[in-house]
Structure 1
Amino acid sequence: MNQEIKIALVEDDENLRFLVSERLQTEGYRVLEASNGDDAEKMIMEENPDIVLLDWMLPGKQGSEVCENIRKNGFDKLVIMMTAKAQDVDKIEAYNFGVSDYITKPYNMDVLVAMIDNKIKFSLNNDKPETYRFANMEHHPNTHLLIKDGKKVELTILENRILLYFLKNRNKVINREELMMEVWGYNADVNTRTLDMHIVRLRKKIEDNPDSPQYLQTVRGVGYKFAHD
């Protein structure tokens, strides 16, 4: 099934690039490789891959600049940033370079493959990038954009992950642990207060009255529910 799926792997560490490329090819993906930002931009715009795996630290250009440039040139598929430092994750969260998601190094190959498989499964069913509609809103997870009443609202990557999970599990009560696992992953040192803080921020962006939420409802003692038909 993965035969026609192209992944652009942009990584300057030759050994790591070889390992990731080998593993992805074993999984049946077609891998295109670049080791610096300029080559990466050219390759991505020419080859139009389904997913870009982009290293944050690259010689010459940083990954964030590459991402910004390909977005400006109309590339709207998935871009997953690979980063080694926690502070880079904060930067990815804080500024919108157009990164769809990120994974921190050193990553487990199985986790990387599962992440890609999961994302591919959803995007394969749609020719155009995946979009979720509810009420007067449209959510575009690849570019973490929310369009509300025709106006653009930018979401951070974590808000994007949270909203996407809710939209895939509408009207289902989701406990905090499940949500934290989904959003921050296995090894995250995160507490429920952090999650609640992100929920509060997300409510401000989607609810007409955040204090009395219509969609993102709290289920006392359990977690949350995204209420929508």
Structure 2
Amino acid sequence: MTKKIKVAVIEDDENLRFLVAHRLKGEGYAVVECASGEDAEALIMSEQPDIVLLDWMLPGKQGPEICKIVRDEGFEKFIIMMTAKAQDVDKIDAYHFGVSDYVTKPFNMDVLVALIENKVKFIVNAGNSDVNRFGDMEHTPNTHSLVKNGKKVELTILENRILLYFLQNMNKVIKREELMMVVWGYNSDVNTRTLDMHIVRLRKKIEDNPDTPHYMQTVRGIGYRFVAE
């Protein structure tokens, strides 16, 4: 059954582009594709895909430049950057060029599909709205934007991913291991201390009093719960 979700695959490696497109078509997605930075902007703006898989390194214009251009032209849907594994993704200046998320190369195809399914879940649940509202905040994960009390707050890619998962699972107890798998995928180098550090940083950005959090509550010995009331 077709999901009626369109994915653009922008990748200059012909073999990888074929494999990704073939797998996504097999999963029921509509797929459009191109191989260069020069063609990417026109493809995104004309096809208006629900999700863009955009390679960081492309001939002509590179991924970050393309991302910024289409954001400036009003494209507000999900853009997932495909990056080299050696890059420190948490330091990518995503907030300024508008990437929604990332996947590192080389990636397991099942991991990529799971990441896309996570975005589709948000698209379906959100209906026509791309904005999640809670308290005095508005979170637009597609464009990596959080507005608190009328002021923009900068989120890293990983903070954006954590917050999105919390908002998809409001009031549910989420185990640390589950959250780590969602945020970092199959990366076995990540430990609970790293996760907790990101939670602390995110609390400082969204909580009025991070020491006694209202939204991102710790469930001792298990993980966390996001309380939206």
User: Is the structural similarity TM-score above 0.5?
Assistant: yes
Q: Is the 8 A contact 1:92 1:99 kept in 2?
A: no
Q: What percentage of aligned pairs have identical amino acids?
A: 72
Q: Which letter maps to 1:220? A: R
- d(CA) in 2 for partners of 1:57, 1:137: 34
Task: Render the CA deviation track for 1:41-68: whole Å, top value 9, x for unaligned.
Answer: 0111111111111001111221111111
TM-score by length of 1: 0.91
Q: Deviations over 1:51-109 (max 9, x none)?
A: 11100111122111111111111100010111123325244266532111111111122
**Paired residues for 1:214-225 under 5 Å:** 214-225=214-225
Secondary structure at the aligned position of 1:12 is classed as coil
SS of 2:96 mapped into structure 1: coil
> Which aligned pairs between 1:1-229 and structure 2 lie closer than 5 A?
1-2=1-2, 4-92=4-92, 96-229=96-229
* Counterpart AA for 1:79: I
Moved more, 36-45 or 214-223: 214-223
- Contact 1:96/1:156 (<8 A) preserved: no
Do the aligned residues in 1 keep the contact of 2:95 with 2:155 (CA within 8 Å)? no
**Change in 2 beyond 3 A, CA 1:226/1:28:** closer
Q: Which stretch shows the higher mean deviation, 105-114 or 198-207?
A: 105-114
Q: Distance in 2 between matches of 1:42 and 1:209?
A: 45
Aligned AA (2:58): L
Structure 1 portions without partners, runs of 5+: none
Change (3 A) 1:182 1:58: same
Change (3 A) 1:202 1:40: same
TM-score, length-scaled by structure 2: 0.91
Contiguous gaps of at least 5 residues in structure 2: none
Deviation at 1:217, TM superposition (A): 1.9
Moved more, 95-104 or 43-52: 95-104
Which stretch of structure 1 is more off in the superposition, 182-191 or 123-132?
Answer: 123-132
The RMSD of aligned alpha carbons is 1.9
Please state whether the residue corresponding to 1:87 is helix, strand or coil.
Answer: coil
Contact 1:71 1:98 in 2 (8 A): yes
Shift of 1:129: 4.7
Output the CA distance in 2 between the equivalents of 1:88 and 1:220: 30
Moved more, 109-118 or 77-86: 109-118
Q: Distance in 2 between matches of 1:186 and 1:106?
A: 12
Spell out, residue by residue over 1:173-226, the C-alpha distance to the aligned partner (whole angstroms, 9 max, x if none).
323222212211123311222111111111111111112222212233332222
How many corresponding residue pairs? 229
Q: Is the 8 A contact 1:8 1:33 kept in 2?
A: yes
